[in-house]
Amino acid sequence: MAFDPMLQRQIMGRFATGVTVVTTRYGEQISGMTANAVMSLSLDPPLIVVSVDCKSNMHGHLTQGQCYAINVLRHDQEDLSRRFAQPGPKDFSDLKLAVAETGAPILADALAYVDCRVVEVAPAGDHDLFIGEPVAGETHDGQPLIFYSGQYAQLAPIAADS
């Protein structure tokens, strides 16, 4: 019997992650999508991966653009995560943006970014894995936004006596 997808979601939801907005540029257009299925895949050679739902608009945009930036959100950017998790065109008009190498928009207030050129797309069920070669990136000080068990959270220091 097939493994219950709801149970898979619940189990993997217990794996706390950061939250990113993955952005791309295709022609004159920019687009973005909230994503936490991102990973540093290899250091030698350097490779990053984002897993993208084949039914999302972002899938088509990444296929056209062949580049992406992963923008790691700060603890106070839950509103951006919610905005970029809505299907359809995304509003960038009030955001401070920068451009690194590939042309994908960088969210200037993010905690970190990595700008990638797509080097391979590997099918994975109802998602495709967009494997990218990083070409630019930056980190800043601050605290990350966390996603855990379907809810947003922040890091808390572990008490000294626990």
Q: 8 or 87, CB closer to ligand FMN? A: 87
Contact 70, 116 (CB under 8 A): yes
Q: How far is the CB of 147 from ligand FMN (least distance, A)?
A: 4
Distance between CA atoms of residues 153 and 157, nearest Å = 13
34 counts as binding ligand FMN under rule CB under 6 A: yes
Residue with tokens 């050129």: 117
Among 18, 37, 63, 117, binds ligand FMN (CB under 6 A): 37
Q: How far is the CB of 19 from ligand FMN (least distance, A)?
A: 5
For residue 21, the one-letter residue type is V
87 counts as binding ligand FMN under rule CB under 6 A: yes
Contact residues for 77 (Cβ-Cβ < 8 A; gap 6+)? 19, 109, 110, 145
For residue 162, the one-letter residue type is S
Distance between CA atoms of residues 117 and 135, nearest Å = 7
Among 36, 71, 77, 102, binds ligand FMN (CB under 6 A): 36
Identify the bridge partners of residue 105 per DSSP, sorted by sequence position: 99
Among 19, 73, 110, 116, binds ligand FMN (CB under 6 A): 19
Q: How far is the CB of 55 from ligand FMN (least distance, A)?
A: 7
Among 18, 41, 53, 101, binds ligand FMN (CB under 6 A): 53
Closest C-alpha to 33, from 57, 16, 63: 57
Q: 6 or 159, CB closer to ligand FMN? A: 6
Binding residues vs ligand FMN (CB under 6 A): 19, 33-37, 51-53, 56-58, 81, 85-88, 147
